Amino acid sequence: MTTTRRLRLEPLAARHLDDYKALISQPDVHRYLSRAVEIAADPVGQARRIVEASERHWAERRLGPFALFEHEGGRFVGRGGLFWVEALQAVEINYMFDPTAWGKGYATEVAAAFLRIGFEDHALAMMVATTDPRNAPSQRVLRKLGFRDAGTKDLGGNRISMLHEITREEWARQHSGSGTAAADGD
Give the pLDDT score at 186: 40
Question: Which CATH code is given to the segment(s) 2-184?
Answer: 3.40.630.30
Give the pLDDT score at 46: 85
**What residues contact residue 95 under an 8 Å CB cut-off, 6+ apart?**
68, 78, 79, 80, 81, 106, 107, 110, 111, 114
Give the pLDDT score at 180: 45
Mean pLDDT per block of 10 residues along the chain (186 residues) reads: 94 95 85 68 84 93 95 96 89 94 95 96 95 90 95 74 94 74 42
Domain boundaries, the chain: 2-184
